[in-house]
């Protein structure tokens, strides 16, 4: 990595080279105790009493009804019901004691010493439960977990007792010897490097997720003293912790949203610095192959103490006859101790580099604060962003103190209008466009989820060549390089949030998605979720409102949707602006009859099964005939799925499942097939 001369207002350096990698966990703090097994007993389909006397009795109870179970052991035999799990916890120093669960299937309530301390929904999340409020310093400390299983197997996966009072150790320490570790270049997916095993989970493509460690040593020159420094991780799957020089920077659980860590006061200038990253991919966030590792880019950012905050520029453009109305919102931060007097300059250039608009505004900002400035302007004869001509403008934002430019950023955007009409479908720049989209996971044949940038463009070029004009990010925010390519190629995008919830963690993921992606002209819809269990319930309505409120604070230029597969009358139906219907083609008529003023589209259709170029169905060889006659029990052949959409003008279009075969969720065959047969473009 080249040394900074501080001769550039801002630097953004790719941090992908010279990482060392170790597969498998290593101790990184003490005390830290894995819970090796639980005692468990099932209690039927009725929720048991949870009174304090009953809880005390349960923990003291012995007998044959309590059995020792190990992590991820299904105690329900794949049937719905309730079960108690219990474990005695060893004494560890505090404060900051917690239990980390990689996964509990499905929902659970956690008690410590007879007190309810947490509830959690959904088996696909890792989560932490603080123990301090009910901890007995002199012991004993009795942990009880009531698990409710609704579908499939029910279990508690790997769990660990931890304390933030623990001292850093092992690979997290800067002087740890990693010379025997393998050198890797990012992006990297360590799960795809494993061996297939028929005993492993089919949803993960019969590959074993696990834990991996990454370490990197780098220099920060003396000339960077006084600058603001931060690290951006575009994506780590998942449940990651990051240390710098042996000090914990923080933790990020989601595998699909980026994480950011300020390091200005942590680095040593003119010396070696060491990053350590622990990645725990043992728990899933979905039911498809998700990989594991630092599978997107990492960046080192350097800026003046007075700078535009990351994702701090929003460009709102609107065609207005022969002109374009522009509104620019710019958020600045002053991380110095003094008041900064500055000038904000915004210059818009077209694709040939010609300036079409200049705006300037003076302001001051006190130390340690942020400020947002709004600038408005207009320029003539805009070239509109369209599918046929995806013209992009570039906004150059600079902050000037006196005669010196101290910060400069660039933002790409397009001028275009979008509209969903309940009777006539989707309009781009006032012209009707039938959406012909595909749903896609990030996994690519042979590579897993760690894709080189060129492959995002390659995949989109293949889709566009076959006539597709839209891409649904199933079922989470995709890589920024994907959206950049959709901007350049003229492909519409449904940008999708992973989970329907109103927890701080989930709302922060929504906030990150919108801030990162709101300037992309390709994005035409924010999707708040996909096929969530609470989608038709009052809890779903409450959560949907919280997500919509979060989105609208940051962007009001796009409608909000959700991919719904049942309960079309209630819940999040009252939240979304455009109804997304998964399969259920009868709803095209029924829903329109009930809600004639709500625009609609097929958010997920087809799930057609075929092997390209093969005209026989042969389970032994893993073949599915390409005659368009095979599909799942919930779906239709390709022509039957598309025809009812093509024939109805009020339907904006459809997204078929899927553009590409993907690893995991093998359908229609299980082992030795390791991927789906859904893709129009197959493995």
3-class secondary structure, 588 = helix
The number of angstroms, rounded, from the C-alpha of 211 to the middle of its chain's C-alpha atoms is 19
DSSP class of 293:
B
Contact 163, 31 (CB under 8 A): yes
Rounded CA-CA distance 106/100 in Å is 16
Contact 118, 97 (CB under 8 A): no
Q: Reply yes or no: is the peptide bond before residue 672 cis, omega within 30 of 0.
A: yes
Name the burial class of residue 54, with classes exposed (0-12), middle (13-18) and buried (19+) by CB atoms within 10 angstroms of its CB: exposed
- Reported as type and span, the H/E element at residue 454 is helix 453-465
Rounded CA-CA distance 501/124 in Å is 13
Catalytic residues: 531, 604
Buried residues in 278-294 as b, exposed as e (16+ CB within 10 A): bbbbbbbbbbbbbbbbb
Rounded CA-CA distance 564/145 in Å is 32
Q: Reply yes or no: is the peptide bond before residue 305 cis, omega within 30 of 0.
A: no
- Reported as type and span, the H/E element at residue 640 is helix 638-646
Contact 239, 281 (CB under 8 A): yes
Contact 52, 96 (CB under 8 A): no
Contact 144, 219 (CB under 8 A): no
What is the signed CA dihedral for 533, 534, 535, 536, rounded to 10 degrees?
A: 110
Q: Reply yes or no: is the peptide bond before residue 658 cis, omega within 30 of 0.
A: yes
């Amino acid at each position: 990595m080249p040394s900074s001369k501080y001769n550039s207002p801002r630097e953004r350096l790719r941090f992908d080279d010279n990482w060392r990698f170790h597969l498998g966990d290593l101790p990184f703090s003490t005390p830290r105790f894995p819970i090796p097994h639980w005692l468990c007993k099932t209690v039927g389909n009725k929720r048991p009493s949870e009174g304090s006397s009953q809880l005390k009795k349960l923990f003291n109870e012995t007998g044959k009804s309590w059995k020792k179970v190990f992590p991820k052991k299904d105690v329900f035999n794949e049937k719905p019901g309730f079960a108690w799990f219990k474990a005695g916890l060893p004494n560890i120093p505090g404060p900051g004691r917690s239990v980390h669960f990689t996964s509990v299937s499905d929902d659970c309530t956690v008690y410590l010493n007879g007190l309810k301390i947490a509830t959690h929904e959904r088996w696909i999340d890792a989560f932490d439960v603080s123990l301090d409020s009910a901890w007995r310093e002199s012991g004993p400390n009795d942990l009880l977990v009531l698990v409710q299983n609704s579908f499939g197997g029910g279990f508690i996966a790997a769990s660990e007792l931890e304390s933030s009072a623990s001292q850093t150790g092992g690979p997290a320490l800067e002087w740890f010897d990693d010379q025997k570790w393998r050198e890797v270049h990012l992006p990297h997916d360590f799960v795809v490097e494993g061996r297939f095993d028929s005993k492993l989970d089919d949803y993960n493509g019969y590959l074993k997720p696990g834990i991996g460690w990454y370490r990197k040593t780098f220099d920060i020159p003396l000339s960077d003293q006084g600058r603001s420094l931060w690290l951006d991780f575009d994506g780590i799957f998942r449940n990651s912790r990051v240390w710098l020089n042996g000090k914990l920077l923080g933790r990020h659980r989601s595998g699909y949203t980026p994480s950011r860590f300020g390091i200005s006061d942590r680095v040593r200038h003119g010396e070696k610095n060491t990053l350590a990253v622990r990645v725990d991919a043992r728990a899933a966030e979905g039911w498809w192959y998700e990989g594991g590792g630092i599978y997107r880019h990492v960046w080192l950012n350097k800026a003046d103490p007075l700078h535009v905050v990351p994702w701090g520029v929003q460009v709102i453009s609107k065609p207005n006859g022969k002109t374009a109305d522009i509104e620019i919102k710019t958020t600045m931060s002053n991380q110095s101790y003094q008041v900064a007097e500055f000038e904000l300059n915004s210059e818009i250039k077209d694709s040939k580099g010609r300036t079409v608009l200049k705006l300037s505004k003076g302001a001051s900002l006190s130390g340690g604060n942020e400020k947002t400035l709004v600038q408005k302007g207009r320029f003539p004869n805009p070239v509109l962003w369209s599918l046929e001509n995806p013209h992009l403008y570039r906004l150059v934002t600079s902050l000037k103190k006196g005669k010196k430019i101290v910060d400069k950023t660039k933002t790409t955007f397009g001028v275009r209008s979008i509209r969903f009409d309940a009777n006539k479908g989707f309009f781009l720049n006032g012209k009707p466009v039938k959406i012909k989209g595909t749903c896609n996971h990030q996994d690519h044949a042979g590579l897993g989820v760690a894709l080189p940038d060129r492959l995002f463009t390659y995949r989109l070029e293949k889709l566009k060549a076959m006539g597709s004009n839209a891409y649904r990010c199933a079922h989470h925010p995709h890589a920024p390089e994907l959206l950049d390519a959709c901007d350049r190629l003229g492909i519409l995008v449904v940008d999708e949030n992973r989970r329907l919830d109103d927890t701080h963690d989930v709302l922060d993921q929504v906030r990150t998605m919108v801030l990162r992606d709101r300037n992309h002209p390709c994005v035409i819809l924010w999707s708040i979720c996909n096929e969530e269990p609470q989608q038709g319930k009052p809890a779903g309505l409450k959560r949907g409102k919280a997500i919509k409120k979060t989105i609208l604070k940051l962007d009001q230029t796009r409608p909000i949707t959700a991919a719904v597969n049942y309960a079309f009358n209630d819940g999040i139906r009252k939240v979304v602006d455009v109804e997304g219907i998964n399969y259920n083609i009868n709803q095209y008529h029924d829903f329109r009859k009930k809600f004639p003023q709500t625009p609609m589209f097929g958010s997920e259709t087809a799930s057609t099964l075929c092997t390209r170029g093969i005209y026989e169905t042969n389970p032994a060889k893993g073949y599915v005939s390409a005659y368009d006659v095979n599909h799942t029990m919930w779906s239709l052949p390709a022509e039957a799925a598309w025809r009812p959409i093509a024939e109805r003008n009020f339907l904006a279009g459809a997204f078929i499942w899927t553009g590409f075969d993907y690893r995991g969720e093998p359908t229609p065959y299980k082992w030795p097939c390791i991927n789906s047969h859904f893709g129009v473009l197959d493995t």
